[in-house]
Structure 1
């Protein structure tokens, strides 16, 4: 019995153990299944999130690709367009013109290039500010777009524009279009309730009539534009064989000008500045003249613009100023001259250190700085007042006097005069000419003289040709006179006050003294005995 119960007990224990084991396994399996289900759910959610993320990322890629495409197109447009007027810029116009000319050559067509340059646009900027200038440029671009049709319109820079057209059949149509454009660009522009008067100069050329390439076409149109501006305002000029010959002559003269500087063919001439009451010579203004070996005397109005374009002004200035200071130094030392006046262009101020250049000339020639006057134009003041003030102050510190040339023809004002170290103003000949013609002209000159006196600025009157003008100026208190009444420009040995040869003797005596001190100065050719 006991054994039987023991066996049953053992069985029961095993059954219980198996039952507990089964229950543990069942529980473990349930936990595993629950965990697996939870992990499966998490994986599902993760996959769903990844799918959504991938979808969102794909949308963002598509959107960004679209944005980049728009930005690229915008960047390309900016690279091709002028930002102010939205016309094509110079670079893209040149490229487009090349394509247009290539197509025209293949099909036997014509291409006309029209260059437009606004007249006196700087005046609009100076008087109306850049806001007014921008309004004018935008309006001009609108008008160009309205007349160009299927052609190309561009802003080349500043106030320069260009058109390229392929639908004009002949030179007569070119001329008609150019005149229509002149008329369209002469209509006043509204700005702040005012009418701004504008006009433009136009030059045009066509291919194949005047050129065989786009670059030549542009160059010939530019020649025609130069002829228009030279002839006056509001004009249109087409390229001709005469212009081609003139351009060839101009290029030849440019080459000869380089040789002229090397050969020292450009020399100083002088015009006297006198005391209008006594007739005594006070000083001279230095004027450049070119003694060409077979052209004869070439006037500065011809060769100085060429020199400026070829960046030769500085070389000419140094050559002429050095010779002038060497020639005039003896007369200053003898008291025959109070001063010598030199003209300096705005481009020379922009190009470099004009003060250093002049200081070297004075040091080389021994000419006293206090006897030198530097004449500047109003363009220098109006273009960069800050730089002008700095450079002119440096010159003044050397003892050099500053004169404002052609006063009364530009936009100088009392503020700019008082801000700069200007000791003289040179009254323009256009105002002097009116002295014998009208009371209005006299009133203007009187006002200028009163203003100058208030600012302690001396006045030199230029362009005096009659005794009436001279006497009126003396009576008004202006005694520094310059003009044909007192003599035309000439080399120093032809001027009445230097014709007696005493300057030559004085120079030799001073040169000898310098040699004794260990310094040697060469005798200028113009003072040597022949």
Structure 2
């Protein structure tokens, strides 16, 4: 009995050992899980910290701070994400800088645009002690070239003009002000395209009146040179107005108004010249502006009239044709002759509109005479601007169709000097007019060198 009782504990020993081993393993697992939980908690706190840093960086980028750096990341993944955000910030900065640059430039010529020029001038006026000059440049004859050759070559002409202005203003690189020796050139030159065919130059520093006139003379010289535009050669000029800071104005708007008035006077005085502003110009500018406005309103008010100078056949003494003569019946000044208002119409770019009215009125009168059984050929003078526009042939055709006027009773006259300006263009226009059935005549033929073959 005693021996049997001793065998039971010995038999239970393996079971006890196995139980202890399972407990040890369980404790080890719990320890490992505890360590993992601690690590995960630490990692979670680190991740929240890195995410907060990245979000903070993104917020600073949205506020325009593109150069803020991040501390080193604790993981490769966050390091790659941080690098990607930094690269994105730099690309965004470059894009914004590029857009800012574009916003200050004229897209065609790459010069300063109007708003950028105004800001630059205002800054310089605050720094200078009055030694500054404002030049307002308006191209003479650009519209005719643009109408004749098309907008593409017109744009190219403006680009070449801007290049020449840079040279004349002593600028070596586009839109970069240049420093010059005292007494020889202004300390700073700002050049801009003001709009259309208008340019402005601001000379600051030692820009006295003689210096401004010297720059204006250089500009006139380089603009007067022929422009090669593919197979075409164009010649234009420039009218320049000069205003001096302190003497003619202290603010940007005052200098702009004075320079514009001086430019207008230069254009009225013969073009291709410069004029320095004086207070006496204000009254003249106001008077001219009022006259031009009256001329514009004359079209809508029906103040233009056609008179007819008859032409008789010497053999039969019968009326064979008539030449249309334009007159302006001003409500206060009475009948005004073309010699007074045509130059004004040319400066105000009204010649095409007035010429279109004349052709239409002539077609209407031709139709009236024909319907009354008294067909009469009427001759109409064509201005250089009309002949050069691409719409001219369409205007003639539409006027005839509108009033059902016989084309052979309309005669269009151009002077030889007009045809000589561009022989190929004149020949093309004359041929297309003839195909409409309209008669063509060259006035003053033989006074120049217009070839006979186009006729």
Structures share fold, TM-score greater than 0.5? yes
Q: Is the 8 A contact 1:378 1:405 kept in 2?
A: no
Matched, 1:126 2:149: yes
Partner of 1:379: 388
Match of 2:286 among 248, 254, 269: 248
Partner of 1:151: 189
Q: Is the 8 A contact 1:115 1:202 kept in 2?
A: yes
Q: For the aligned residues, what is the CA RMSD?
A: 4.9
Cα separation, 2, equivalents of 1:129 and 1:314: 21
Partner of 1:448: 454
Instruction: Give the SS at the match of 1:151.
Output: strand
Q: Is the 8 A contact 2:112 2:191 kept in 1?
A: yes
Partner of 1:408: 419
Match of 2:437 among 397, 411, 423: 423
Matched, 1:220 2:258: yes
Matched, 1:181 2:219: yes
Cα separation, 2, equivalents of 1:221 and 1:394: 42
Cα separation, 2, equivalents of 1:304 and 1:186: 24
Once the two structures are superposed, the pairs formed by residues 226-265 of structure 1 within 5 Å of their partners are 226-232=264-270, 234-254=272-292, 256-257=294-295, 265=303
Cα separation, 2, equivalents of 1:268 and 1:213: 48
Unaligned runs of 5+ in 1: 347-375, 382-386, 435-439, 450-530
Shift of 1:289: 1.7
Cα separation, 2, equivalents of 1:120 and 1:390: 23
Shift of 1:62: 3.2
Q: Is the 8 A contact 1:404 1:422 kept in 2?
A: no
Partner of 1:297: 335
Sort the Cα spacing of 1:193 and 1:396 in 2 relative to 1 into closer, same or farther, 3 A.
closer
Shift of 1:85: 3.4
Q: Is the 8 A contact 2:324 2:378 kept in 1?
A: yes
Q: Is the 8 A contact 1:114 1:221 kept in 2?
A: yes
Sort the Cα spacing of 1:100 and 1:34 in 2 relative to 1 into closer, same or farther, 3 A.
closer
Shift of 1:378: 1.8
Q: Which has the higher helix share?
A: 1
Unaligned runs of 5+ in 2: 48-72, 172-185
Q: Is the 8 A contact 1:182 1:200 kept in 2?
A: yes
Sort the Cα spacing of 1:258 and 1:225 in 2 relative to 1 into closer, same or farther, 3 A.
closer
Match of 2:204 among 156, 160, 166: 166
Shift of 1:303: 3.8
Q: Is the 8 A contact 2:360 2:399 kept in 1?
A: no
Sort the Cα spacing of 1:28 and 1:254 in 2 relative to 1 into closer, same or farther, 3 A.
same
Shift of 1:233: 5.3
Instruction: Give the SS at the match of 2:188.
Output: coil
Partner of 1:513: none
Q: Is the 8 A contact 1:378 1:404 kept in 2?
A: no
Q: Deviations over 1:101-148 (max 9, x none)?
A: 4556xx5x1442112234445649939946863662352143144166
Q: Is the 8 A contact 2:329 2:336 kept in 1?
A: yes
Sort the Cα spacing of 1:19 and 1:242 in 2 relative to 1 into closer, same or farther, 3 A.
same
Sort the Cα spacing of 1:133 and 1:94 in 2 relative to 1 into closer, same or farther, 3 A.
same
Cα separation, 2, equivalents of 1:56 and 1:45: 18
Matched, 1:24 2:22: yes
Shift of 1:97: 3.1
Sort the Cα spacing of 1:12 and 1:235 in 2 relative to 1 into closer, same or farther, 3 A.
same
Cα separation, 2, equivalents of 1:417 and 1:195: 21
Once the two structures are superposed, the pairs formed by residues 458-473 of structure 1 within 5 Å of their partners are none
Sort the Cα spacing of 1:138 and 1:304 in 2 relative to 1 into closer, same or farther, 3 A.
closer
Shift of 1:80: 0.9
Sort the Cα spacing of 1:395 and 1:423 in 2 relative to 1 into closer, same or farther, 3 A.
same
Q: How many residues align?
A: 402
Shift of 1:283: 4.1
Cα separation, 1, equivalents of 2:168 and 2:387: 32
Shift of 1:235: 2.0
Once the two structures are superposed, the pairs formed by residues 106-117 of structure 1 within 5 Å of their partners are 107=129, 109-117=130-138
Sort the Cα spacing of 1:9 and 1:284 in 2 relative to 1 into closer, same or farther, 3 A.
farther
Q: Is the 8 A contact 1:200 1:234 kept in 2?
A: yes
Sort the Cα spacing of 1:193 and 1:308 in 2 relative to 1 into closer, same or farther, 3 A.
closer
Sort the Cα spacing of 1:309 and 1:179 in 2 relative to 1 into closer, same or farther, 3 A.
closer
Shift of 1:282: 4.0
Once the two structures are superposed, the pairs formed by residues 8-87 of structure 1 within 5 Å of their partners are 8-30=6-28, 51-87=75-111
Instruction: Give the SS at the match of 2:15.
Output: helix
Shift of 1:251: 3.1
Q: Is the 8 A contact 2:239 2:263 kept in 1?
A: yes
Shift of 1:56: 3.2
Partner of 1:94: 118
Sort the Cα spacing of 1:316 and 1:328 in 2 relative to 1 into closer, same or farther, 3 A.
same
Cα separation, 2, equivalents of 1:42 and 1:263: 89
Cα separation, 2, equivalents of 1:304 and 1:183: 28
